[in-house]
Amino acid sequence: MTLVSEIRLRQVLDSRGNRTVEADVVTESGGFGRAAAPSGASTGEYEAIELDPSEAIASAREHAVPRLEGKVFVGDQRDVDRTLRAADGTDDFSEIGANSAVAISMAASKAAADVTGAPLYQHLGGAFRGEEFPTPLGNVIGGGEHAADATAIQEFLAVPVGAPSVQDAVFANAAVHQEVHDLLAERDIAAGKGDEGAWAPSIEDDEAFELMAEATDAVADEVGFDIKFGLDVAGAEMYDEDDEEYVYRETTRSTDEQIEYIADLVEEYELAYVEDPLDEDDYSGFAELTEKVGDRTLVCGDDLFVTNVERLATGIEQGAGNSILVKPNQIGTLSDAVDAVELAVENGYEPVISHRSGETEDTTIAHLAVATGAPYIKTGAVGGERTAKLNELIRIEQNVSRL
């Protein structure tokens, strides 16, 4: 146990070229941790509040740093995070900003791990036996809020469910990404990349489904294990509250039609994962869809749950979904993120640890996924800020296999 001696805050770039908050935490014994906050584009209404980075840093320096420096032990992560909440004094980090809070929270955990000489996943999760590693979900085709003039559905994700190792899974997702590029080239379809490195062709969703089915089948044949695919529909971004319908490029769907549409897609393409198929307030719609397809696929709540145990508890009570996306910056601290994972697991929900569209080179979520035994991690397929997490997972897997 060692006290925080200094916290340094600065602005750095995220993967979109926007400013974000980075924190250094130094301990009295010389421990050091550094972490940077990511930022979302498709954000839920109920997420913790991200402030302008300059405002977040100024407020954190005024309200949080004096409560932490010389007063809090980095080895007690919950005390660090309780102190951040107390310093903020709101339910949603609207005073110091969730971006400053999560950067400090993650940096403190790294400083504590540095003091003990343990890897971060071991510090967060205790003695690790190497029994589980997450399967990475790789964003291959993207549209929605991540790319203009592309697919209406926000993400088409490769899911290498049969991969025998993290390394094999990571390489398989990259191969699917490349295969889609080659298929697009064969069809003379130009495609740049969206925020998360996914291809962003100006095509209809139907064609994207065909491309994903062909690409995953081709790569599965090459690598010799099963690769499925899944979706992030980003239903809240599509939903027109006034007209009570989901707006696609060429059509609109009522809630009942949306549920049937998603259920049909699960059946036709054997989807392994469906995230945010409906609006962020539609617990009953999530429950109805889960009743229809929850025995065959993950119905994952992102905007529905926003890593918040109270919203997750409501979903559990109503049978809404069977999976939760977990984003530390969405709730503000590592402790709150772990609480969401634990409540999910206790109630049979699968936790999926996730990146954001505006990312940094920070690898904390790779360690968090291993520490919590999460079955899945969503962190892209290519791109430096995405491969930082994927390569870290490969390193962790290799290190654990040597123990």
Contact 175, 223 (CB under 8 A): yes
From 327, 359, 385, 392, active-site residue? 327
Q: Which residues are annotated as a binding site for (2R)-2-phosphoglycerate?
A: 154, 327, 356-357, 378
* Domain-located, residue 142: yes
In the residue annotation, 288 being an active-site residue is answered as no
Task: Tell whether 108 and 159 lie within a shared domain.
Answer: no
Residues belonging to the binding site are 146, 154-155, 232, 275, 302, 327, 354-357, 378
- Could you give the CA distance from residue 238 to residue 148 in angstroms, rounded to a whole number? 14
| pLDDT-derived band at 266, boundaries 50, 70, 90 | very high
Domain boundaries, position 41: 4-117
Is 186 known to be catalytic? Answer: no
93 and 155, same structural domain?
no
List Cβ neighbours of 215 (8 Å cut-off, separation of 6 or more). Answer: 140, 158, 176, 179, 180, 183
Quick one: 275 and 348 in the same domain? yes
Of 85, 117, 149, which one is at a domain's C-terminal end?
Answer: 117
**Residue 342 to residues 36, 290, 307, Cα–Cα distance (Å):** 24, 21, 11
Which is it for strands 350-354 and 376-378: parallel, antiparallel or unpaired? parallel
Point out the catalytic residue in the list 196, 237, 288, 385: 196
Query: What CATH number does the domain containing 396 carry?
Result: 3.20.20.120
Query: Burial letters for 277-316: b for 16+ Cβ neighbours within 10 Å, e otherwise?
Result: bbbbebbebbbbbbebbbeebbbbbbbbbbbbbebbeebb
The model's confidence at residue 401, banded by pLDDT at 50, 70 and 90, is: confident
Q: How many CA atoms lie within 13 A of 289 on its CB side?
A: 35
Torsion of CA 139, 175, 131, 266, to 10 degrees: 50
Instruction: Using the predicted structure, report yes or no on whether residue 129 has a pLDDT greater than 70.
Output: no
Q: Determine the average pLDDT of the residues in 128-145.
A: 83
Rounded to two decimals, the pTM is 0.96
Does residue 32 lie in a domain region?
A: yes
Yes or no: say if 212 and 156 are a contact pair by the CB < 8 Å rule: yes
| Residue 221 binned pLDDT confidence (cut-offs 50, 70, 90) | very high
Domain boundary among 117, 150, 165: 117
CB 393 within 8 A of CB 370: yes
**Residues in the annotated binding site for substrate:** 146, 155, 275, 302, 354-357, 378
- At 166, list the tokens: 């993290």
Annotated binding site for Mg(2+): 232, 275, 302
Q: What tens digit of pLDDT does each residue of 24-64 get?
A: 999 999 999 999 999 987 677 899 999 999 999 999 999 99
Residue 127 lies in a domain: no
